[in-house]
Amino acid sequence: MQLVEQADVLFVTCSYSKDEARTRQIISTYTPPLGMAMLAAYLLEHGVSTAIADALALEMSPEQVLERIELIRPRVVGLASITSLFGPNRRLASSIRARFPDILIVLGGHHGATFKGSILEETPEFDIVVYGEGEVSLLALVEAYAAKNWDREAFLADLGELSKIGGIVFRDASGKSVVTDRAPLIEDLDTLPFSARHLLPMERYVPLPHQYSRLPAIHLMGSRGCPFNCAYCNNTAVMGRVLRLRSPENIVMEIDELKRDFGAREIFFWDDTMTVNKKWLSRLCDILTSERMDITWSAATRVDIVNPEMLKMMKRSGCWRLFYGIESGIQELLDLLNKRTRLQQARDAIKWTNDAGIETTASFMIALPGETPELARETVRFALEIKPTYADFHVTTPFPGTKLFDEALEYGRLNMDFSRYDCYEPVFVPFGYKDEDEIKKMLSFAKRSFYFRPSYILGKLMRIRSFGDVAKLLRGFKTLIGFLQRSKRFQGTSDQV
C-alpha cells in the first residue's frame, strides 16, 4: 500500500464497535471499499490528490483515524454508508467536525442515496450528501470547492454554485435541504480508470475459505446496475436499473494489471447479476479461456438466466463458484418478493451448475413476509433437496427505499433501529412468528441443518487433497461456529424450533 503524506481528499471507512469488530474477526473478513477506490482513481486522474484510510481493515481506533487526518490534512473527508453503518459514520463525522472545523465532510453510499434531504436536516455533522453514482458529482464538488480556495464557509454559503452540481444535497440559508438533479450516469464505463488499489491495504482482503479457490483473489466489477426489481433489494438505489457493461477487453486489461501488481490468480466479481447479457459473457469467457490468462473466478447471478451450455463455457473459462439468491423454498413467498423465479428454475440452475463442475452457494432469507416457522422449515428442506455446495441463510431485512420496507407493516412488525439492519439481527417479525427470538432460533436451525449433516461433513472430508484443503476446512468450520455463537448470544436458551 502506498502511504500518502498529504492529500486534498481523504476517504475513510469507519469501523464497528469493539464487540462488533470482535465478532467480525470470528465470522467474517475484511473486504475492499471498491466504491471509494473507484472514486479515488477518478479524482487522481483529474489531478486531485487523494488518499484512502480503510480504518476498518486496518483496525484503526477512532483516535488513530483522527491522527491520520491530522497528518494528511485533507480539505475534504469522504465517508460512505450503508444503512447499518450510518450511526458509526455519524459518530466519526462528529469527531472529525469537532477537531477539524474547516474540513468539508461529504457522505456517499446507499443510506445517503435513500434518505437524501432528511439526512442533512437531521445530522449537522455532514456538509453535503452525494447520492447516486459518485464520480462526476464528487469531482464537480471538489473542483468548485478548490475554486473557493478551500474556504468551507464561503463554499457552503454559495448556494448558486452548489445548485449547479448534479447529484448532491446541500442546505439552504434556513438549513433546509436542497436536492439537485441526479448527475447523468456514466454511459461508457470503459472511460473510467481502474480502481486505485495502491491506496488500499490489499493484503488484508483475504476472502473467507468458501469464497476462493486460489489466492490472491481480488475483487472487481465488470458492470453497474441491475435490470431486475426484487422487492427487498437496495442495489439499484445508487446505480439504477439500467445494466451498463464494461467491455470484456477493458476488464481483462484490469485483470492483467492485477496479475502484474498483486499477483492475482483469482477474480471475485462483485457484479449484481453476471449472466444477464449472454453475448458479453461469452466474449469475456472466450478471453479468459485463453491459456495466457490462467485466472479462476467466481460471481453472483440469478437462477433464471443460466443454462447448461453457458455454465460449461463459464467453467472452461475458470469459473469455479456461483452465488445464487434463491431466497425461499415457497413459491408464494417468492412471488410476494417480485423475485420472478420459479422453484423449478432454482432446482435446475443448481443441478446444471453442479454438473458443470462449478460450486454453488444458494442464499436464502428467513422470516419473509407471509412466512411461518413451518414454511421456513420447508425452505430449509428445499435447501437440502437442491444440494448446493454451500447455503447462506440471512434474516429478512427491509432496507429503507425498497418496496419491502414500504409494505413491511402490512406483513409484520418492523424495528426502526437501523444499526441492526445487518441481515443477521431480526428487525422484521412477520405475523407468523412470535418474536425475534423465534427467528434467531430458526436461523441457527437452518445453518445447523445444512452444515452439521453427517453426509455433508463426510463429503467435505472426502474431498480433502492437500494441507491447504485442511486449513481451508478448519477456517470454514471456525467461521461457522462463529456464526452460531453469535446467534446464540442473541437468542434465548432453547434451540428447539
Binding site for ligand B12 (CB under 6 A): 31-36, 38-39, 78-80, 82-85, 106, 108-111, 130, 133-135, 138, 221, 233-235, 238-239, 270, 272, 399, 422-424
Q: How far is the CB of 401 from ligand SF4 (least distance, A)?
A: 12
Contact code string over 284-323 relative to ligand SF4, x by CB under 6 A: ------------------x---------------------
Instruction: Report the distance separating Cα 72 and Cα 10, nearest Å.
Output: 8
Of the two residues 85 and 314, which places its CB atom closer to ligand B12 in the complex?
85
Which residue has the CB atom at the shortest distance from ligand B12? Answer: 108
Of the two residues 223 and 449, which places its CB atom closer to ligand SF4 in the complex?
223
Q: How far is the CB of 161 from ligand B12 (least distance, A)?
A: 17
Residue/partner pairs of 398-401 with CB below 8 Å, 24 or more apart: 398/232, 398/427, 398/428, 399/83, 399/110, 399/114, 399/232, 399/234, 400/83, 400/111, 400/114, 400/115, 400/234, 401/110, 401/113, 401/114, 401/234, 401/237
Q: How far is the CB of 312 from ligand SF4 (least distance, A)?
A: 23
Phi then psi for residue 28, to 5 deg, are: -140, -160
Of the two residues 8 and 272, which places its CB atom closer to ligand SF4 in the complex?
272
Q: How far is the CB of 132 from ligand SF4 (least distance, A)?
A: 16
276 contacts: CB under 8 Å, gap ≥ 6 = 226, 227, 243, 301, 305
Site for ligand SF4, residues 199 to 238, rule: CB under 6 A: 226, 228-230, 233, 235
| DSSP assignment letter at 304 | G
Q: Which does 34 bind (CB under 5 to 8 A by kind): ligand SF4, ligand B12, none?
A: ligand B12
Of the two residues 119 and 313, which places its CB atom closer to ligand B12 in the complex?
119
CB contact at 8 A, 116 and 182: no
DSSP-based helix, strand, coil % in the chain, nearest 5: 45, 15, 35
Half-sphere exposure for 229 (CA within 13 Å, toward CB): 6
Closest to 35 (Cα-Cα) out of 138, 169, 146, 180: 138
Of the two residues 211 and 301, which places its CB atom closer to ligand SF4 in the complex?
301
Q: How far is the CB of 133 from ligand SF4 (least distance, A)?
A: 16
Of the two residues 313 and 395, which places its CB atom closer to ligand B12 in the complex?
395
CB contact at 8 A, 103 and 145: no
Query: Which cell numbers in the block locate residue 467?
Result: 494441507
Kindly provide the residue ranges of all beta strands, DSSP E only, lying in 280-376, ordered along the sequence: 296-301, 319-327, 359-366
Q: Which does 211 bind (CB under 5 to 8 A by kind): ligand SF4, ligand B12, none?
A: none
Of the two residues 85 and 237, which places its CB atom closer to ligand SF4 in the complex?
237
Of the two residues 225 and 370, which places its CB atom closer to ligand SF4 in the complex?
225
Query: Which cell numbers in the block locate residue 368?
Result: 419473509
Closest to 194 (Cα-Cα) out of 222, 236, 217: 222
CB contact at 8 A, 428 and 398: yes
Of the two residues 229 and 415, which places its CB atom closer to ligand SF4 in the complex?
229
Q: How far is the CB of 218 from ligand B12 (least distance, A)?
A: 13
Q: Which does 325 bind (CB under 5 to 8 A by kind): ligand SF4, ligand B12, none?
A: ligand SF4
Q: How far is the CB of 20 from ligand B12 (least distance, A)?
A: 9
Count interface residues toward ligand SF4 (CB under 6 A).
Answer: 10
Provide the Cα torsion 104, 109, 112, 115; round to 10°: 170
Query: Which cell numbers in the block locate residue 144?
Result: 468548485
Closest to 232 (Cα-Cα) out of 94, 381, 83: 83
Q: How far is the CB of 158 from ligand SF4 (least distance, A)?
A: 38
Q: How far is the CB of 27 from ligand SF4 (least distance, A)?
A: 23
The residues binding ligand SF4 (CB under 6 A) are 226, 228-230, 233, 235, 272-273, 302, 325
